[in-house]
Amino acid sequence: MNKQYDAIIIGAGVIGCPIAYELTKMGRKTLNVDKLADAGEGSTAASCAIVRAHYSTEDGVAIAYEGFKYWLEWEKYLGYVKDEKGLAKYMNTGSILLKSQGHDWRKVQKHYDAVGVRYEEWDLNKIKEMVPVYDLHEFWPVKRPEDPEFFNEPTRFLEGALFCPEGGYMSDPALSAHNIMRAAEAKGAEFIFNAEVVEIRSRDNQVVGITLKDGTQIDAPIVVNVAGPHSYKINQMAAGVFEECNIKTKALRHEVMYCPSPEGYDYLKDGYHTSDGDIGCYYRPEVGNMFLIGSEDPECDPQEWVDPDLFYAAQLPYGRGNELTMEQWRAQTYRCARRVTGMQIPNQPRGVCDLYDCSDDWIPIYDKSAMKGFYMAIGSSGNQYKNAPVAGLMMAELIDACEKGLDHDKTPFPFKLPHLGRTIDTGFFSRNREINYDSSFSVNG
């Protein structure tokens, strides 16, 4: 007889774990299945774990801001659980959004006001006072160093910044997922690792369970796809599910890099997370007094869509790990060095390369599917880490409502954000939405 659960969650990353945590708290017996060795070891581990409130839509801002409450009160969220690996730490640096042509910051500010996000407006003098190493010239439009115009001397200045004092980043993204796993286990959730799903079994369009690579069958009337960059492969295993989605997901290769701070500047102690659309980068402090530099996907940068299995098996020229391309290393570090006067650029590229589970409009899918009992929390597109605890709760409530008979496709589940008290139309995250052209079509979401 196969082992039985109320719900199987495929993936134990930073979104799979909170879904288990919340479903368990609601009384469901859950099992997370992950093909890697521990929680958060997949693309979660490579996340920059940034916690910021600016998104391109009002609901996006509201969900992100709701998430702040969890990160700011991390131990409370975890139910004061013990984790033998220790707890991840919220580094509450504050978050700077530079006003530039690269961000629709006026829209963001409007959303901040509507949602009630705490923020300050900084003029250039204030930014210079807070971050003396920033050169506040405007470098727009974003270019690559191969472009001769990249090195043109700028003549104009940025307009200022929106500063969000509650922003920051989590010290260790993999550990944060591990923490949530321990919290979920304390409520009765189970996890198995080194277990690869090869089949989603169904009968009469109702999911009945999964089959693992070693042939083990596990049964549950609810299966949730939270497989990160493998999400589209899992959807393809569930009969009719992939085909029925209007919005699809695929895996995008992405690099982040780190460079030593300018000499004499303690970025780790004194720095802020900064979103800098003017140079198409975001950056935050990293241990070792480094600038950790990510890309905001400017149009001039090529996108490399890959098969996640080939990527993780190192069968592509550049696989997962610390092997970066010299071209992208130069693009991101040179851009950042234009803003950060005196930033050091090592000869050897240093950083991390992994995959985004990217949706067509860079907005995630939190939804049911055409198959009864089969749900998905996918398409995080590099911008959902900060939303993970909220997404966990939203998915658990959405699943619960659907299982109790709600026709979520017809009448989307209204999700109430517990701290902000605001209700979100979860139809926003539907698999069957049209492409949302309000999106930034970038990691900014």
Partner 1 sequence: MNIFVCVKHVPDTAARIDVKARCRIDENITFIMNPYDENALEEAVRLKKVTPEATVIAVTVGGAAAQETLRAALAMGADEAVLLETRSPLDSIQTAGALAEAIRRRGPADIVFTGKAAIDSEGFQTMFRLAAHLGLPAASNVVSFGLNQERAVVTCEMEAGDREVLEMPLPCVIGAAKSLNQPSYPTLPAILKARKKEIHTTVLEALDLPAAAGHVACLDMTPVVDARTPVELKGTFEEIAMEIIHLLRREAKVLP
The nearest distance, CB 348 to partner 1, in angstroms, is 4
Distance CA 3, CA 358 (A): 33
Chain position carrying tokens 């549950």: 220
Identify the bridge partners of residue 359 per DSSP, sorted by sequence position: 249
Alpha-carbon 357 to chain mean position: 9
Chain position carrying tokens 């409520």: 187
Distance CA 97, CA 91 (A): 17
The nearest distance, CB 321 to partner 1, in angstroms, is 7
Token pair in block for residue 138: 């405007």
Q: What is the DSSP annotation of 272-327?
A: -EEEETTTTEEEEEETTTEEEEEE---TTS---EE-HHHHHTT-SSS-SBS---HH
In the complex with partner 1, which residue's Cβ is closer, 116 or 321? Answer: 321
The nearest distance, CB 337 to partner 1, in angstroms, is 4
The nearest distance, CB 329 to partner 1, in angstroms, is 8
The nearest distance, CB 262 to partner 1, in angstroms, is 8
The nearest distance, CB 216 to partner 1, in angstroms, is 24
Q: List contacts with partner 1 (CB under 8 A).
A: 84, 151, 259-260, 262-263, 314, 317, 319, 321-326, 334, 337-338, 341-349
In the complex with partner 1, which residue's Cβ is closer, 1 or 37? Answer: 37
In the complex with partner 1, which residue's Cβ is closer, 250 or 335? Answer: 335
In the complex with partner 1, which residue's Cβ is closer, 306 or 324? Answer: 324
Residue 43 and residue 13 in contact, taking contact as beta carbons nearer than 8 Å = yes
In the complex with partner 1, which residue's Cβ is closer, 99 or 338? Answer: 338
CB atoms < 10 A from the CB of 386, how many?
28
Question: Strands 190-192 and 30-33: what pairing?
Answer: parallel
Distance CA 25, CA 188 (A): 9
Residue 181 and residue 12 in contact, taking contact as beta carbons nearer than 8 Å = yes
In the complex with partner 1, which residue's Cβ is closer, 240 or 262? Answer: 262
Alpha-carbon 59 to chain mean position: 16
